[in-house]
């Protein structure tokens, strides 16, 4: 002991710069901590710390806390006309004394007569108010628009002040999310973020969205999803369903539905290299950071939000009625020279009533679905510990016949704690979400568009399904074939940090997620005509279960230091992540009763279709150095070294990095006094990111168990074409942007230009089937470029005491181009891509006209060989990339009324309905009435055919692959409108809002075949929803 202390004393005298305080001498009292032979450690550590102490110790000293007599001070905080709740009031230089105003803007705080109160609130200028012995102090805050520049933006491993960020980050907050009656997190982002293109793939509850941030980087269509991070924990967005069970949706079930929008505080989307390089290999397609709500200190507050409403299909396709349809059919047979209608042409051969008319779209997809959204919770806390508990629940029914519901329930708990000295901090977040989805196994939209309009009644008089003498497949037969999905999702994370020395912080992010998803689809015997006598012995069940859990540990050290005019921030850290997925899919057929159909053990034969467990391991080291000088010149360096188990042993590791810089030119002398320009920043970044999205184990040479029995053996099949040599895909990103505020930031503009180039493309290169497979995994030496512009404008159009009006506008345009592709002509992509053209191109035939003589479509015979052939004549390039897209949001506040509305717009092309030849037994869009009937006709569409004229059939299919199959599908949509009224209650600490919200209420488009927003035609379009709700806080 003595040695230890003596050494220290000795060293201390050497370090004579060190400030000596009384407390330092107390070291002797604590040295007993190191008893029992720990002396050596003690020496080593002492030496170490003393070598640091000259530079750090001076700052550690604290002022002695003095508490002279305090008085209670009360008052009201207003913005000039209305009280401001939630304003924080502290006593200057005593950070642990805080008060928060209640809903009437009232506060109470203890302070000494000579203290100064610090009043701060986001969006307002900070006020320093000397107490001067007063006991009642009413405070008026002034709006400060520039404080929006002071908001800290989450950049993942660090946060950065809006004004100082060097990267491209788009953001929405709870305020934007809460106005939207939706249950999917991606839906809340639509139209609100520049550069983020989101398309809803189906209106079916529980369905998915397609998201592309700054265009398509990878040739692999399934490798363009961004990285999702929820409170620091990566959230795998890979599908969790199974093709045999996820039948209602165009894509296999996505886990993203688990995220509860009501629990979200903010969503940040990281776009450029500066922001994404720190995510290295997983940042190529952008990063979506989701931060959940945290509690605030102050009075314990309860909140309840409840809303309920109705949804229906946005737009129907314009289809023929019975008269039009039957005349088409008659003409079709006449055209084909057939006078006696065949026995199977039930619609016109007299079997079916030819006067019936059913609008199948209304009948099968025209119901009003009910939506109920509810969340409630409590939050509060002390200076040291805050908490928030939120529970939510939603229920949606469908627009289909039958009783189908989608239920979602979630609980979220957040606790933050800080030690009294503020050095130790702990944040724990836990979210648990349940989804219970019950849907028809097949979307009725397809049937609704294709059924002949004079098809028979759905029901017989006795209420049973009408099979019309086995002449049709009653579409309601599939009502009994249901899809059920249950998802349980736990995401929990903790951030533990400790400030080792002033400015030096050790932090660890810990995360664990556990997802369990069970999907079933049944096909009961009741889907068959009872005449067929098919019993439950033919009923079948498909069950698929996915379990995915992952853990992540990210220890980090960060250091912040200000020297005079310079400021440095450094982060060093590493990531260890493990993700294990177990999935099993089984089927059962033959049940003794349909009541037992959900019980696999009751199936007379059951099979395991698929069963596997896969592991993904990921490791990284990352760092960031940020240097700013004089708050004007900022440079940001980020880097990451990544290792992934998805590559062969030789290719596991790769390095990524970026440099970003910003110049706040508005702080320069030549502008700083300007009345016009209030803010100005130029920023630029360049760097690399990558992608390992190729699936697990693809580099291995293996045989896979097929689960199929033959000769008493379960089969083994070659898994893939073997290639162990593929490695990381690399994406180089370059960005330059300007941000400017005018007139005290009442007009704020940003304009960004970017260029992203993806090389070393990690793809399943399509292979001719003669290779035995469809593709091989490899790095293709192709270069894909996305280049674009993004503009955002925020204006405060009017700001008065009773009325204010703000507008947000964003518009983005992305141009995708294939720059390099070695030997494209000779490759398997020769008929998919073109040099210098976007990846989303379509190669099509050129439709010329309808030949007035033959009544057949005429296509351009590009190679003049007298035939229309693929690929020679299918060479017309149509670019399917949206030309531009964006949103225009307005918020108007008049006294207690707030009106918020968002128009989303997309300028794009999309496919027309993919049709069978007009004239066959399927309904057609009404535009097909303009078809050729006799020689000399100048019609838009060719002659009808009942299927007997093979030239007409062939041409009809060519038509579907021709320039005529693509049309302008641009639209402007009133994406969201929300009106809320704050009830003027004169109750202390109670606030109540009434709201009316609408989603997708109006859609303006030229597109005729239904709603223009879809990725695959034939699925339920997005729904329009109106809800009324109440928000109650007390």
Sign of CA dihedral 691, 697, 701, 705: negative
27 binds another protein (CB under 8 A): yes
Euclidean distance between CA atoms 930 and 916, whole angstroms: 16
Based on the shown chain and the rule CB under 8 A, indicate whether residue 378 belongs to the binding site for another protein: no
Q: If DSSP codes are grouped into helix, strand and coil, which group holds residue 254? A: coil
Residue 248 sits at φ, ψ, to 5 deg, of: -70, -20
Q: Residues 83, 86, 402, 590: which binds another protein (CB under 8 A)?
A: 590
| 689: β partners | 731
420 is an interface residue for another protein by CB under 8 A: yes
Stretch that binds another protein, among 60-68, 307-315, 732-740, 971-979 (CB under 8 A): 60-68
Question: Whole-number minimum distance, CB 578 to another protein, in Å?
Answer: 8
- Give the C-alpha separation, 971 to 1009, whole Å: 13
The Cβ of residue 112 has, within 10 Å, a number of other Cβ atoms equal to 17
Q: Is 54 in the site for another protein (CB under 8 A)?
A: no
Report in angstroms how near the CB of residue 772 gets to another protein at its nearest.
2
Give the Cα separation of 993 and 775 in Å (integer). 57
Identify residues 610-629 at the interface with another protein (CB under 8 A).
Answer: 610-619, 621
Residue 13 burial by CB count (10 A; 0-12/13-18/19+): exposed, middle or buried?
A: exposed
Write out the binding residues for another protein, residues 976-1015 only, by CB under 8 A. none
Q: Does 48 bind another protein (CB under 8 A)?
A: yes
Give yes or no for residue 959 binding another protein (CB under 8 A).
Answer: no
Is 28 near another protein (CB under 8 A)? no
Q: Smaller CB distance to another protein: residue 925 or 947?
A: 947
Q: Which of 120, 308, 645, 1015 forms a contact with another protein (CB under 8 A)? A: 645
- Integer Cα distance of 35 and 37 in angstroms: 6
Q: Is residue 717 at the binding interface for another protein, with CB under 8 A as the rule? A: yes
Q: Are 263 and 431 in contact (CB under 8 A)?
A: yes
Minimum gap (Å) between residue 343 Cβ and another protein: 7
| Interaction of residue 537 with another protein, rule CB under 8 A | yes
Q: How far is the CB of 619 from another protein (least distance, A)?
A: 5
Q: What is the DSSP letter of 725?
A: -
DSSP labels for 964-1016?
A: GGEEE--EEEEEEEEEEEE-----TT-EEEEEEEEEEEEEEE---BS-S--SS
Site residue total, another protein (CB under 8 A): 114
Dihedral (C-alpha) 594, 595, 601, 607: value to the nearest 10 degrees?
A: 30
| Orientation of helix 2-14 relative to helix 39-60, angle to 10° | 40
Q: Does 384 bind another protein (CB under 8 A)?
A: no
What is the C-alpha separation between 423 and 777, in angstroms, rounded?
A: 49
369 forms beta bridges with: 311
- Which residue among 37, 64, 68, 343 contacts another protein (CB under 8 A)? 343
Least gap, CB of 497 to another protein (angstroms): 11
Tokens representing 578?
């493990």
Check: CB of residue 80 under 8 Å from CB of residue 140: yes
Residues 423-462 that bind another protein (CB under 8 A): 423, 450
- Pick the closer one to another protein by CB: 6 or 60: 60
Span 115-134, contacts to another protein by CB under 8 A? none
Task: Tell me whether residue 6 or residue 985 sits nearer to another protein (CB atom).
Answer: 6
Residue 773 binds to another protein (criterion: CB under 8 A):
yes
Cβ closest to another protein, residue 755 vs residue 875: 875
DSSP run (H or E) holding 365? helix 360-365
H or E element in which residue 814 lies: strand 803-820
Three-state DSSP class for residue 94 = strand
With binding defined as CB under 8 A, does residue 143 bind another protein? no
Closest Cα partner for 223 from 725, 643, 832, 691?
691
Please select the residue that binds another protein; options are 3, 14, 23, 565, rule is CB under 8 A: 23
Q: Do the bridges between strand 71-78 and strand 139-140 make them parallel or antiparallel, or are there none, so unpaired?
A: parallel
Beta bridge partners of 657: 639
CB nearer to another protein: pick between 195 and 947: 947
Site string for another protein, 795-834 (x = CB under 8 A): ---------------------------------x-xxx--
User: Of the candidates 36, 340, 355, 531, which one interacts with another protein according to CB under 8 A?
Assistant: 531
Identity of the residue, 103 or 821, whose beta carbon is nearer to another protein in the bound complex: 821
Question: What is the DSSP track for 611-632?
Answer: EEEEEEEEEEEEEEEEEEETTT
Do 1018 and 445 touch, CB atoms closer than 8 A?
yes
Report the candidate in 585, 508, 516 with the shortest Cα–Cα distance to residue 549: 516
Residue 632 burial (C-beta neighbours within 10 Å; 0-12, 13-18, 19+): middle
Taking the complex as a whole, the smallest distance from the CB of residue 52 to another protein amounts, in Å, to 6
Nearer to another protein, 557 or 736 (CB): 557
Site for another protein (CB under 8 A): which residue of 13, 340, 464, 605?
605
- Pick between residue 498 and residue 1032 the one whose CB is nearest to another protein: 498
Tokens at residue 900, please? Answer: 């918020």
Of the candidates 829, 670, 814, the residue with the CA atom closest to the CA atom of residue 764: 829
Q: What is the largest CA-CA distance in the chain?
A: 116
Among 84, 194, 776, 841, binds another protein (CB under 8 A): 776
Within 471-500, which residues bind another protein (CB under 8 A)? 471, 498, 500
Among 310, 534, 751, 1001, binds another protein (CB under 8 A): 534
Judged by CB under 8 A, the residue of 304, 306, 411, 501 near another protein is 501
The answer to whether residue 697 forms part of the interface with another protein (CB under 8 A) is yes
The span of 182-190, 420-428, 741-749, 983-991 binding another protein (CB under 8 A) equals: 420-428
> Which range touches another protein (CB under 8 A), out of 529-537, 592-600, 833-841, 884-892?
529-537
Footprint on residues 860-889 left by another protein (CB under 8 A): 869-871
Terminus-to-terminus CA distance in the chain, angstroms?
A: 58
Nearer to another protein, 18 or 441 (CB): 18
Residue 740 binds to another protein (criterion: CB under 8 A): no
The answer to the question of residue 546 lying near another protein (CB under 8 A) is: no
Q: Among 10, 631, 701, 930, which residue interacts with another protein (rule: CB under 8 A)?
A: 701
Binding residue for another protein, selected from 90, 216, 394, 652, defined by CB under 8 A: 652
849 binds another protein (CB under 8 A): no
Work out how close the CB of 540 gets to another protein at its nearest, in angstroms, rounded to a whole number: 12
The total of other beta-carbon atoms located within 10 Å of residue 337's CB is 8
The distance of closest approach from Cβ of residue 473 to another protein in the complex, given in angstroms and rounded to an integer, is 8
Residue 710 is a binding residue for another protein (CB under 8 A): yes
Gap between the Cα atoms of 702 and 715, Å rounded: 13
Q: Is 714 in the site for another protein (CB under 8 A)?
A: yes
Choose between 766 and 852: whose C-beta lies nearer to another protein.
766
What CA–CA distance (Å, rounded) separates 940 from 522? 44
Select the residue interacting with another protein from 130, 133, 350, 718 (CB under 8 A): 718
* Nearer to another protein (CB atom), residue 198 or residue 921: 921
| Rounded alpha-carbon distances, angstroms, from residue 247 to 443, 481, 614 | 8, 11, 24
Q: Which is nearer to another protein, 48 or 108 (CB)?
A: 48
From the list 447, 920, 965, 1003, which residue makes contact with another protein (rule: CB under 8 A)?
A: 920
Candidates 373-381, 407-415, 531-539, 661-669 — which segment interacts with another protein by CB under 8 A? 531-539
Q: Is 470 in the site for another protein (CB under 8 A)?
A: yes
Residues 6+ apart with CB under 8 A from 357: 321, 322, 453, 454
Count CA within 13 A, CB hemisphere, residue 429: 23
């Amino acid at each position: 002991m003595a040695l230890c202390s003596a050494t220290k004393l000795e060293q201390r005298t050497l370090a004579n710069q060190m400030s000596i305080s009384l407390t330092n001498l107390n070291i002797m009292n604590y040295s007993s901590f190191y008893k029992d032979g720990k002396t050596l450690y003690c020496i080593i550590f002492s030496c170490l710390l003393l070598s640091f102490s000259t530079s750090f110790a001076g700052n550690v000293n604290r002022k002695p806390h003095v508490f002279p007599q305090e008085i209670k001070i009360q008052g009201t905080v207003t913005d000039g006309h209305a009280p401001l709740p939630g304003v924080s009031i502290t006593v200057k230089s005593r950070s642990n004394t805080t008060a928060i105003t209640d809903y009437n803007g009232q506060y109470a705080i203890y302070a000494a007569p000579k203290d100064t109160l610090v009043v701060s609130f986001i969006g307002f200028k900070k006020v320093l108010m000397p107490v001067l012995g007063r006991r009642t102090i009413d405070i008026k805050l002034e709006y400060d628009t520039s404080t929006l520049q002071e908001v800290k933006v989450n950049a993942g491993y660090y946060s950065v002040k809006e004004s100082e960020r060097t990267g491209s980050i788009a953001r929405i907050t709870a305020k934007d999310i809460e106005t939207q009656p939706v249950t999917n997190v991606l839906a809340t982002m639509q139209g609100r973020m520049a550069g983020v293109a989101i398309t809803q793939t189906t209106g079916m509850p529980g369905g998915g969205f397609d998201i592309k941030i700054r265009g398509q980087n990878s040739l692999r269509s399934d490798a363009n999803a961004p990285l999702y991070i929820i409170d620091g924990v990566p959230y795998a967005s890979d599908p969790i369903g199974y093709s045999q069970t996820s039948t209602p949706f165009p894509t296999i079930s996505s886990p993203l539905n688990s995220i509860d929008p009501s629990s979200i505080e903010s969503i940040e989307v990281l776009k450029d290299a500066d922001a994404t390089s720190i995510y290295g290999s997983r940042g190529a397609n952008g990063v979506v950071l989701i931060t959940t709500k945290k509690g605030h200190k102050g009075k314990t507050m309860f909140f309840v939000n409840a809303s309920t409403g109705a949804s229906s299909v946005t737009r129907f396709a314009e289809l023929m009625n019975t008269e039009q349809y039957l005349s088409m059919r008659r003409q079709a047979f006449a055209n084909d020279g057939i006078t006696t209608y065949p026995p199977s042409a039930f619609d016109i051969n007299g079997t079916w009533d030819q006067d019936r008319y059913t609008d199948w779209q209304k009948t099968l997809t025209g119901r009003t679905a009910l939506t109920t959204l509810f969340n409630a919770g409590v939050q509060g806390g002390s200076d040291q510990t805050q908490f928030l508990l939120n529970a939510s629940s939603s229920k949606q029914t469908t627009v289909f016949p039958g009783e189908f519901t989608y239920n979602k329930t979630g609980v979220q708990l957040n606790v933050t704690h800080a030690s009294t000295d503020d050095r130790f901090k702990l944040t724990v977040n836990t979210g648990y979400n349940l989804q219970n989805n019950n849907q028809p196994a097949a979307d009725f939209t397809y049937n609704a568009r294709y059924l002949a309009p004079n098809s028979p009644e759905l029901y017989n008089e006795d209420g049973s399904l009408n099979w019309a003498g086995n002449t049709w497949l009653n579409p309601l037969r599939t009502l009994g074939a249901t899809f059920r999905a249950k998802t349980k999702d736990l995401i929990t994370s903790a951030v533990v940090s400790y400030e080792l020395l002033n400015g030096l912080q050790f932090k660890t992010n810990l995360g664990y997620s556990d997802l369990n998803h069970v999907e079933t689809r049944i096909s009961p015997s009741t889907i068959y005509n009872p005449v067929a006598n098919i019993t439950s012995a033919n009923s079948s069940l498909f069950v698929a279960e996915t379990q995915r859990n992952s853990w992540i540990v990210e220890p980090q050290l960060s250091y912040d230091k200000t020297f005079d005019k310079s400021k440095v921030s450094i982060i060093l850290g590493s990531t260890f992540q493990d993700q294990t997925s177990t999935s099993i899919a089984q089927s059962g057929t033959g049940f003794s009763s349909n009541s037992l159909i959900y019980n696999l053990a009751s199936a007379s034969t059951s099979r395991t279709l698929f069963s596997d467990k896969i592991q993904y391991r990921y490791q990284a080291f990352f760092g960031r150095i940020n240097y700013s000088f004089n708050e004007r010149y900022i440079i940001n360096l980020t880097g990451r070294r990544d290792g992934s188990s998805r590559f062969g042993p030789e290719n596991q590791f790769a390095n990524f990095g970026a440099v970003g810089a910003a110049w706040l030119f508005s702080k320069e002398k030549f502008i700083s006094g300007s009345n016009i320009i209030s803010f100005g920043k130029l920023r630029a970044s360049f760097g690399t990111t990558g992608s390992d999205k190729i699936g697990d184990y693809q580099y291995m040479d293996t045989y896979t168990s097929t689960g199929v029995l033959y000769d008493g053996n379960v089969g083994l099949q070659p898994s893939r074409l073997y290639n162990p040599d593929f490695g990381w895909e690399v994406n180089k990103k370059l960005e330059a942007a300007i941000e400017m505020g005018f007139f005290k930031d009442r007009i704020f503009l940003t304009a960004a230009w970017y260029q992203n180039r993806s090389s070393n493309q990690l793809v399943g290169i399509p292979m001719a089937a003669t290779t035995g497979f469809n593709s091989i995994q490899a790095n293709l030496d192709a270069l894909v470029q996305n280049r674009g512009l993004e503009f955002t404008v925020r204006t405060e159009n009017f700001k008065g005491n009773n009325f204010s009006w703000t507008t947000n506008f964003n518009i983005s345009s992305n141009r995708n181009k294939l720059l390099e592709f070695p030997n494209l002509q000779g490759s398997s992509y020769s008929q998919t891509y073109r040099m210098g053209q976007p990846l989303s191109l379509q190669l099509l035939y050129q439709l010329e006209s309808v030949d007035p003589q033959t009544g057949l479509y005429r296509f351009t015979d590009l190679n003049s060989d007298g035939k229309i052939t693929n690929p020679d004549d299918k060479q017309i390039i149509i670019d399917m990339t949206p030309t531009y897209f964006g949103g225009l949001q307005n918020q108007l506040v008049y006294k207690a009324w707030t009106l918020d509305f968002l128009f989303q717009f997309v300028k794009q092309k999309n496919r027309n309905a993919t049709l069978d030849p007009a004239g066959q037994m399927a309904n057609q869009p009404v535009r097909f009435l303009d078809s050729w009937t006799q020689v000399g006709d100048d019609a838009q569409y060719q002659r009808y055919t009942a299927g007997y004229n093979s030239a007409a059939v062939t041409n009809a299919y060519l038509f579907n692959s021709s320039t005529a199959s693509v049309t302008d599908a641009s639209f402007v949509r009133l994406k969201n409108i929300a009106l809320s009224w704050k009830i003027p209650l004169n109750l202390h600490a109670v606030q109540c809002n009434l709201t009316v919200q609408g989603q997708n209420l109006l859609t303006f488009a030229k597109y005729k075949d239904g709603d223009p927003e879809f990725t695959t035609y034939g699925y339920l379009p997005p729904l329009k929803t109106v809800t009324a709700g109440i928000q109650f806080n007390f």
